[in-house]
Amino acid sequence: MSYTTLLFEVLDGIALATITRADKANALTDTVINELGHLARRFRDDSALNALILTGAGPKAFAAGADIGELAGCDPAKAEALSRKGTRIFREFELSPKPVIAAVNGLALGGGCELAMACHVRIASENARFGQPEVLLGICPGYGGTVRLPRLVGRGRAVEMLTTGMTVDAAEAHRIGLVNRVVPQAELMQAARALAATMILPAPLAVAACLRLVDSQDALDLDAALLAETVAFAGLAGSEDFREGTGAFLAKRKAAFQGR
């Protein structure tokens, strides 16, 4: 599929998808959301793709929220359909068994912040800003902002951001745990690619298990989460990658994982 709002590239098994609406601050129109949905499924199903980096075109914005022109035309039924679709698509990135990295190159507001939070890891350029300003438009987040933000930064900070519409710069986002690291803008994509390359070196089944276990624990009590980890640990002990990894370690050679 060819995209009209995304630029899709692949290098050494690492996919890069860039939202290409720089003149509109990469706002998330219905078309962008639909194409992100196709991208999520494409990434999931293509065994040649091992990691995905999401970013925005231009120096100003990762994605500056919804397209307000489209949003203003919503009635309750349209708003519910929009929220359900966006939530489902963002969740597909979050549930990916392969790493998804947000390279936040500027404004990540509203739906853009929610998209970044649905990625497994966030790297920000020094000029990035984050926020959920929906209350200033008379609405609340609709793609998971009230759910993911407290889990990343804590309840108190999330409530402050959500109820005031305030934005935070990259340094503050890093301090409160919203992003993993901050780099100069000129180094952003290099840093994202380097991280992706590091994340695809270990055994794919083990990486997928870690991503799944981290995601699922929010719905489990402590004992159930610990049991889920034990089950995954035991299951991986029967994999070819486990035998390869331990054998390579003992033989002092580099492991050649196959995802089996």
Dihedral angle sign, alpha carbons of residues 192, 194, 200, 202: negative
Parse the chain into domains and list their residue ranges. Answer: 6-199, 204-251
**The whole model's pTM is what?**
0.94
To which residue do tokens 């070819």 refer?
A: 240
Q: Which residues contact 189 (CB under 8 A, 6 or more apart)?
A: 16, 53, 55, 103
Could you give the CA distance from residue 244 to residue 168 in angstroms, rounded to a whole number?
Answer: 45
181-237: pLDDT as tens digits: 999 999 999 999 999 999 999 999 999 999 999 999 888 999 999 999 999 999 999
Q: Which amino acids are annotated catalytic?
A: 114, 134
33-50: pLDDT as tens digits: 999 999 999 999 999 999
2-42: pLDDT as tens digits: 899 999 999 999 999 999 998 899 999 999 999 999 999 99
CATH code at 204-251: 1.10.12
For 66-88, what is the mean pLDDT? Answer: 90
Considering the chain, what is the average pLDDT of its residues? 95
Q: What is the CA radius of gyration of the chain?
A: 19
152-184: pLDDT as tens digits: 999 999 999 999 999 999 999 999 999 999 999
Q: Is the pLDDT of residue 124 over 80?
A: yes
Could you give the CA distance from residue 165 to residue 141 in angstroms, rounded to a whole number?
Answer: 11
Q: Is the pLDDT of residue 73 over 90?
A: no
Q: Please give the CATH topology (third level) of the domain spanning 6-199.
A: 2-enoyl-CoA Hydratase; Chain A, domain 1 (3.90.226)
User: DSSP letter at 185?
Assistant: G
